[in-house]
Structure 1
Amino acid sequence: MEAIRRLLIAVLASLAFVAPHTTANGLPAEVRLAAIEGVPSAKAARQILEIAYQRLGVGVSVMEVPTKRALLLADNGGLDGDLYRVDAVASNYPNLVRVEFPLLQGKLLAVVRETENHDLPHSPKNQPLRVSVLRGAIIAEDKARELGMEPILADDYDQVRSLLELGRVDVAFVSDVEGISPLTNEHWHRLKPIRKPVTTFTFYHYLNQRHAVLADHLAKVLEQLEREGIKAEVLESFRRDQHSKS
């Protein structure tokens, strides 16, 4: 009888431990997401997702980590998902499930010192153009190599800018995500993007495959937030805040 009593206590204790970790509809009570360090648009993405998760009764915590570590943590289940990625990057991680509604739209801009230029500068002495890119910005790194450029990695956008201003690179790659970009900062006023974006991209939210059901729910909620104008309000608030700090 004592053995049975202990077994019952152990079972009840395990149920008490599991219960708070799921909602009434079977969704997790909280998810832990990875986010890339030092990216301006990540804060906007985080707020949009927090609103979406709140509608589902799911809490969110975010850990800022280097980009490749973020993907690994989401893929191997160390965390529940990755804040946002493009398909070309996430497709290399088989355990990630895409939330099938676009989170953010963006474009990659080439920034130069000469304001009259409308195209990429010519390579000096038939050497590859040197381009400063934010470390971990995989889209920018891949595009630079695709165009035959030499990517020079920078730890933050201030360093990206400094490398261009000091002439250590020929061009800088800067992301503009829904109008959220370091180019609005007054420190960039002497530098101008060329007219045509280097490329455009779509960010999606990704979850570990164990949350496939949650991904389906989130896609519907994100569509609702866009239809109701809530997503646009969040983005406009970030754009205003960005301009007020410029």
Structure 2
Amino acid sequence: MGNLDKFANHKEWGIRQIALVFCFLFCSSVFAEGPYKYAAIEHLFEQKVGVVVLTSVYKKLGLSIEVNPLPAKRAQLEASNGMLDGEVMRIWSYGEQNPQLVRVPTPYYSLNTTAFYLSERALAISTLSDLERYKLVVVRGVKHTADVTANHKYVEQLSSTDKLISFVHRGRADVALTNKVDGLVASKRLKLNEHIAYSAPLAVFPLYHYIHERERHLVAKVDEVIQAMLRSGELAQVIEQAEQQVLNSGY
């Protein structure tokens, strides 16, 4: 009987250990939130600013994020398929075309669609309709330029803003269409800022954070923080600091 008692006690101890392991794993999955993993379009100024701002937003919720810089098309694929938890920022129409991603209602940044061209050509571009006569280059997969050139006959897609500006400088395109700050920084980085002119903003797009539907419980929480930061003026301060940080990094 003594051996049987020992066996029973040993078996009971083993069951308790297994139960504790399962409890630990279950509790960890329930209570340990984050880091949430988001995509950002690589090499774009506004996306890098968004990463800094969004990190501050999530920190107020006691949460952390990890961001994967990716080409725009791949970012869309991985976010919409649920391989990642969403995207740092996109324009409104992106949500209409990707129903698996839930738009946080309050925009927290914006971009200006701007035309860049050779200074010596002095092109007359003040509206989007003025672009119809020109050969354009845009960054592949970026929604704001894709939307405004949807019915345009002469559009070539490239992988970065630097390549857009280089194409224009070499005469391979008439106009590079991108966010104003991206174009200005790329021109300066390529030492072409004295040769490249730019239009007034042709369109302004608010930018929204997108979260995959499986994590939709975050949407209201994140939106509440963004609204509070907007009301208090903190959002503007964080954006200003983020912009300076990104510019200083040379991104």
SS in 1 for 2:150: helix
Distance 1:57 1:244, change over 3 A: closer
Tell me the secondary structure at the aligned position of residue 231 of structure 1.
Answer: helix
Q: Hey, what's the Cα distance between the residues in 1 that align with 2:212 and 2:115?
A: 33
Cα distance in 2 between the residues matched to 1:100 and 1:130:
35
Q: Which runs of 5+ in 2 are unaligned?
A: 1-7
Post-superposition Cα deviations, 1:4-45, rounded to whole Å, max 9, x if no partner, equal: 87665444323312433454xxx8332111111111111110
State the TM-score, normalizing by the size of structure 2: 0.81
2:175 to 162, 171, 174: 171
| 2-structure distance, mates of 1:175, 1:5 | 64
1:77 to 73, 82, 101: 82
Q: Select which of 17, 20, 30 maps to 2:25.
A: 17
**Alignment correspondent of 1:212:** 216
Task: Assess if the C-alpha contact under 8 Å between 2:161 and 2:182 holds in 1.
Answer: no
Distance 1:42 1:122, change over 3 A: closer
The 2-side partners of 1:99 and 1:121 are apart by: 32
Calculate the TM-score normalised by the size of structure 1: 0.82
Which of 132-141 and 161-170 deviates more? Answer: 132-141
Alignment of 1:161-240 (within 5 A): 161-176=165-180, 180-184=181-185, 185-186=187-188, 187=191, 188-195=193-200, 197-240=201-244
Classify the secondary structure of the residue corresponding to 2:37. Answer: strand
State whether residues 37 and 85 of structure 2, in contact with CA within 8 Å, keep that contact through their aligned partners in structure 1.
Answer: yes
Give the alignment of 1:97-108 within 5 angstroms.
97-108=102-113
User: Counterpart in 1 of 2:163?
Assistant: 159
* Distance of 1:31 and 1:18 partners within structure 2: 18
SS in 1 for 2:48: helix
User: 1:31 pairs with 36, 40, 56, which one?
Assistant: 36
Task: State whether residues 46 and 111 of structure 2, in contact with CA within 8 Å, keep that contact through their aligned partners in structure 1.
Answer: no
Aligned runs of 1:131-142 on 2, under 5 Å?
Answer: 131-142=136-147
Work out whether residues 114 and 203 of structure 2, in 8 Å CA contact, stay in contact via their aligned partners in 1. yes
CA displacement 1:103-154 (0-9 Å, x = unmatched): 211121112224643324673xxxxx311111222321332232x2422222
Please report the RMSD computed on the Cα atoms of aligned residues, expressed in angstroms: 2.7
Mapping 1:63-74, distance limit 5 Å: 63-74=68-79
Structure 1 CA distance, aligned partners of 2:102 and 2:115?
31
User: What SS class does the counterpart of residue 43 from structure 2 fall into?
Assistant: coil
More helix per residue: 1 or 2? Answer: 2
- Structure number with greater Rg is 2
Structure 1 unaligned segments of length 5 or more: list them.
124-128
Q: CA deviation at 1:202?
A: 1.4
Retained in 2: the 8 A contact 1:20–1:29? Answer: no
Q: Is 1:48–2:53 an aligned residue pair?
A: yes
Partner SS for 1:41: helix
Q: Which residue of 2 aligns with 1:91?
A: 96
AA in 1 matched with 2:207: F
Helix, strand or coil at the partner of 1:145: coil
Residues 223 and 31 of structure 1: CA distance in aligned 2, closer, same or farther (over 3 Å): same
**What is the count of residue pairs matched by the alignment?**
233
Identity %: 24
Corresponding residue for residue 126 of structure 1: none
- 1:64 is paired with a residue whose SS is strand
